[in-house]
Amino acid sequence: MKLDAHWMPFTANKAFKQSPILMESSSGMRWQTEEGQSFLDMTAGLWCTNLGHSRQKVAEAMYESAKKLSYVPSFNLGHRASFELAERLVAHSPGDINHVFFTNSGSEAIDTALKIAMAYHSAKGQSGRKIFIARERAYHGVNIGGTSVGGIIHNSRHFDRWGSVDHLPHTHDLANNAFSRGLPETGVEKASALKDLVALHGAENIAAVVVEPIAGAGGVLPPPVGYLKELRRICDEHDILLIFDEVVTGFGRTGSFTASIEFDVIPDMYTSAKGLTSGAVPMGATFCKDFIYDTVVGSAEGIELWHGYTYSAHPIACAAANACLDIYEEESLFTRVNSGIGAYFENAIHSLSDLPQVVDIRNYGLLGAIEFAPQSEGLPLGSRLFKKSMEQGLMVRGAGDSIILSPPLIIEEQHVDEFVDKLRAAARDIF
């Protein structure tokens, strides 16, 4: 088969095409290749297949929808499934987050949130508020807004940042918090950097602060105890909107529907994608509180927000998301982490601290990272371990010096044990 035509995303194209791995099927916790090799998925694909792979109920719902109503624009037209889905999602959301705007990805959800923030301030007569404060090591997708607020240099070094953006320091602190279980105890004072940025830029110029409650692609960095509450307090003091990017942390990953519920800090907006359809079909969403919706929608006659996508609230995506919600609810998956599997996963990954060159292990819910010492030559150990794990039939994510874990929420103890055995075998090949 010729592989050249498909320019693959976030992939070393030349290397992949020399020794490609082509998946043919998937079910539960595993993928199978065309040659019949099986891979244990400790990444939920890209943090998305929370319900496990190829759920039949979701596939059937999509098929039924496709047969009956394959497409309808959501500009000035509607269909029942999107309104039902929206009602169900806001019922799960915290506080008075009662509105949701549908997109097709996490990247679009973030760019939508940035635009809604500016539309909100403009509707209030404060159109000067255009600066966004984000954070180092953040990942907010790859559209131009998300790239601009992102804090991972690889993702932005070749592109100009759009608009005015400044960054808070990241919260990773090996000296004080290595091998934390759950939230690190120290580091709340890092939130006070927001006060300095407000003083520097002027609150009257700042639209919003945007952070992942737990930074994901930046290395799984749970926030220090009290840190998110302090961001909330400073934002409130200055009428700055607080946006949580919950594209990774939503849909049961932390042990609650959202990390904002888990950490008891309610943002003004939050974004979602991935677990929303458990990866079965692209869909994202931007949620907001009543006061934002009421201000923007109340500010104009006719179209109030000049924004939307051809495939916003696509019928097949809505059918998939409704079917996924049924499964999350029937199987109590939003809180499954707290049933014992979260603690089992935590103990298992911390048991790997005896591997050579480990400098940190951290976790929250069904998110975890194992960090190795930086290497002066050659590939970082996280990338090498990722490759060696593949040879063992194990999928972990390599992120520089770390490997990152975010298994499907249906994971059982025997899968965790299998992961530990296979990772040790992969590590033996390296050290």
Ligand X SMILES: Cc1ncc(COP(=O)(O)O)c(C=O)c1O
- The owner of tokens 């959501």 is 74
Cβ pair 368, 345 in contact under 8 A: yes
Give whichever of 145 and 255 is closer to ligand X, judged by the CB atom: 145
Q: How far is the CB of 151 from ligand X (least distance, A)?
A: 11
Residue 110, interface with ligand X (CB under 6 A)?
yes
Residues 243-262 that bind ligand X (CB under 6 A): 245, 247-248
Left if phi > 0, otherwise alpha if psi is -120 to 50, otherwise beta: which for 330? alpha
Give whichever of 112 and 392 is closer to ligand X, judged by the CB atom: 112
Q: Which stretch binds ligand X (CB under 6 A): 133-141, 190-198, 337-345, 411-419?
A: 133-141
Give whichever of 93 and 295 is closer to ligand X, judged by the CB atom: 93
Of 217, 214, 219, give the one whose Cα is nearest residue 265.
214
Residue 273, interface with ligand X (CB under 6 A)?
yes
Give whichever of 400 and 427 is closer to ligand X, judged by the CB atom: 400
Give whichever of 141 and 295 is closer to ligand X, judged by the CB atom: 141
d(CA 361, CA 175) in angstroms, rounded, equals: 13
Residue 311, interface with ligand X (CB under 6 A)?
no
Give whichever of 255 and 279 is closer to ligand X, judged by the CB atom: 279
Give whichever of 139 and 309 is closer to ligand X, judged by the CB atom: 139
Backbone φ and ψ of 48, nearest 5°: -125, -30
Residue nearest to ligand X according to CB distances in the complex? 106
Residues 141-180 that bind ligand X (CB under 6 A): 141
Q: What is the dihedral of CA 319, 320, 326, 332, to 10 degrees?
A: -160
Residue 216, interface with ligand X (CB under 6 A)?
yes
Structure tokens at 292: 């934002």
Residue 140, interface with ligand X (CB under 6 A)?
yes
CB atoms within 10 A of CB 344: 15
Cβ pair 296, 123 in contact under 8 A: yes
Relative to beta strand 97-103, strand 284-289 is antiparallel
d(CA 244, CA 334) in angstroms, rounded, equals: 18
Q: How far is the CB of 139 from ligand X (least distance, A)?
A: 5
Q: Which stretch binds ligand X (CB under 6 A): 135-143, 174-182, 200-208, 379-387?
A: 135-143
* Contact flags string 376-415 toward ligand X, x per CB under 6 A: ----------------------------------------
> Which member of 31, 101, 132, 139 binds ligand X (CB under 6 A)?
139
Q: How far is the CB of 137 from ligand X (least distance, A)?
A: 11
> Which member of 26, 43, 105, 312 binds ligand X (CB under 6 A)?
105
Q: How far is the CB of 397 from ligand X (least distance, A)?
A: 10
Question: What are the start-end ranges of the H helices in 11-50?
Answer: 13-18, 44-47
Residue 210, interface with ligand X (CB under 6 A)?
no
Residue 278, interface with ligand X (CB under 6 A)?
no
* Residue 225 burial (10 A CB sphere; 0-12, 13-18, 19+): middle
233 Cβ contact partners less than 8 Å away, ≥ 6 residues apart: none
Give whichever of 137 and 388 is closer to ligand X, judged by the CB atom: 137
CB atoms within 10 A of CB 123: 19
Residue 212, interface with ligand X (CB under 6 A)?
yes
Q: How far is the CB of 259 from ligand X (least distance, A)?
A: 11
d(CA 110, CA 90) in angstroms, rounded, equals: 18
Residue 217, interface with ligand X (CB under 6 A)?
yes
* Residue 390 burial (10 A CB sphere; 0-12, 13-18, 19+): middle
d(CA 266, CA 246) in angstroms, rounded, equals: 12
Give the angle 30-36-42 at the CA atoms, nearest 5°: 20
Residue 97, interface with ligand X (CB under 6 A)?
no
Point out which residues bind ligand X (CB under 6 A). Answer: 46-47, 105-107, 110, 139-141, 212, 216-217, 245, 247-248, 273
